[in-house]
Each structure stands twice: as C-alpha cells, then as structure tokens.
Amino acid sequence: MFMETKSFGETLAETFAKAKDNLGFLLVCLGIFAGIFIIALLFEKFLIKNRRKLSDTRSITFIALFSAMAAVLMLLEFPLLFVAPGFYQLDFSEVPVMICTFYLGPVAGVVTELIKIVLKLFIKGTSTAFVGDFANFVVGCAFVLPAGVIYHTKPNTKRLIAGLAVGTGIMTVFGSAFNAIYLIPKFAQLFGMPIDAIVDAGHKIFSSVTDVPTFAAFCVAPFNLIKGAVVSILAFLLFKAVSRYLKLPAMKTKKQQ
C-alpha cells in the first residue's frame, strides 16, 4: 500500500497560498492598528482637554510599566468552561491597561495594549496562529477606548463608572460581532481547526449553538460580558487605591475639585 505524495508543484502552490493568507492577515492587523490609533488621536484632540502628553518621559515610563504588568497578567489565563470552550481564555491584562488609559489618555491605552501583546509574544509565543493575540488587542481597545474617552471628558467618579459600563457594553457587542464575522473564520483558516469543530464545542455547552452567529451570541458575548464586569470592578478598586499616588483627579472630593 502506497501513501499518496504531493508533487513539488502542489507543495509549492500550498506554500504560496498559506503565505498569501498570512500576509493578508498581517496587513489587516496593521491596518486595524493604524485605524484604532488614529481614532484615539482624534478623540484626544477634539474631545479631551488638558490631557497628559505621550512624549513626556514620565508618560513613557508609565506606559512601559503598565505594559509589562499587563503582559505578565496575560500569561495567567484560565477558561470559563460554563460559558465558552476552553480555547477562550480569561485574563486580567486589561486592568493595568485601563488604569494607564485613565492616567494618560486613550492613545496611551492603545499603545499599552499593543506593547502588551508584543511582550507576551516574546515571552510565550502564540498558540492560536496569532489570531487570539490580535483579537485580544482589538477587543481590548474596544473596551478601554470608550472608557478612557468618557472618563477624560470630565474626570470624576461618575464618569469613571459610566466609562467602564459603556466600555463593557461595547466590548461585548463588538467582540461578539467581530468574532462571528472575521475572527472565528480566520482562526479556522490559519489554525486549521474546522469551523464545525468550533461550533460543536459551543453546542456541548449550549444546545442553542448551531452555527457561528449563535456561537458568538451564546458563548462569546457572555464571555466578554463577564470579563468586562470583572475587569471593571478590579480596575475601579485599584484606580481608587493608586489615584492618590498618581495624582489622578477621579477620586477627588467636591471641595478639592
């Protein structure tokens, strides 16, 4: 019995096809990062007054510090098997990113998100063909950007809470839609895991999961909602604890304001 072997031409064609897919994914990543960064810049320019400057040495130091903390926290992840399959992992890396965003502004938050991912890849590499890492960055920005903008328009405790709530909501809705439209199909393509297998993994948790849209609705959305709620609580408590040392305005009393 002989095993079927591929010709050199077939192997070369598959290699080029795979390289083309990877290059396309890389270009999408770069394009989305540039878009998010520009959006953050526009928010800071037109909506935020008296913001701290990114070029300041103190700002750069804090970005590096919070990025390092976020990268370490990204290594400590665990699944929520009662909500989503095990390849969706919960981590708390958005907590220091959120605090950095509250301290320095949306642009700093986006930069911190990016550096966090780069550091994590250097330390651990990727187990999701880079799709999971890309998802963590984009969905994380969908969380911290709205929260940071709302807070910085008029820094106070109410704005802080409102920002975290809105950020959680946007992350939940956007993250679910982005998974259904792009991330899950791209993960299946680059990682080599059939979409049917992904859907079946969700079906084992919720019988209502029968396709990619229902997977996003019943698995991804609750996962992001839980993550947003937990991260928001931790970020709020830690922000309150460190605000006096960072001289943040959100926790000032009315007399101080």
The CA-to-CA distance between both ends of the chain, in Å, stands at: 83
Mean pLDDT within 64-85? 92
pLDDT at position 10: 41
What's the whole-number average pLDDT of the chain?
84
> Among residues 226, 218, 186, which one has the least CA distance to residue 201?
218
What pLDDT score was predicted for residue 51?
A: 60
- What percent of the chain stands above pLDDT 70? 84
Answer whether 140's CB lies under 8 Å from 97's CB.
yes
Residue 211, pLDDT above cutoff 90: yes
Mean pLDDT on 161-183: 95
Segment 168-184 shows an average pLDDT of: 94
- Over the stretch 213-237, which tens digit does the pLDDT of each residue have? 999 999 999 999 999 999 999 999 9
Query: What's the pTM value of the predicted model, to 2 decimals?
Result: 0.84
Q: Which of 131-135, 187-191, 194-198, 200-204 has the lowest mean pLDDT?
A: 187-191
With tokens 């938050």, the residue in question is 109
Query: Is the predicted pLDDT of residue 17 greater than 60, yes or no?
Result: no
- Identify residue 88 by its one-letter amino acid code: Y
Assess contact for 114 and 130: CB atoms under 8 A. no
- Is the pLDDT at 58 greater than 50, yes or no? yes
Residue entry with tokens 């910085």: 152
Contact 220, 88 (CB under 8 A): yes
Domain 55-78+85-246, classified CATH 1.10.1760.20, yes or no: yes
* DSSP symbols for 145-208: HHHHHHHHHS-SHHHHHHHHHHHHHHHHHHHHHHIIIIIHHHHHHHH---HHHHHHHHHTT-TT
What is the distance between the alpha carbons of residues 69 and 61, in angstroms, rounded to a whole number?
A: 13
Confidence tier at 54 by pLDDT (50, 70, 90): low
Asked whether residue 22 carries a pLDDT value surpassing 90, the answer given is no
| pLDDT for the residue numbered 71 | 95
What pLDDT score does 46 carry? Answer: 81
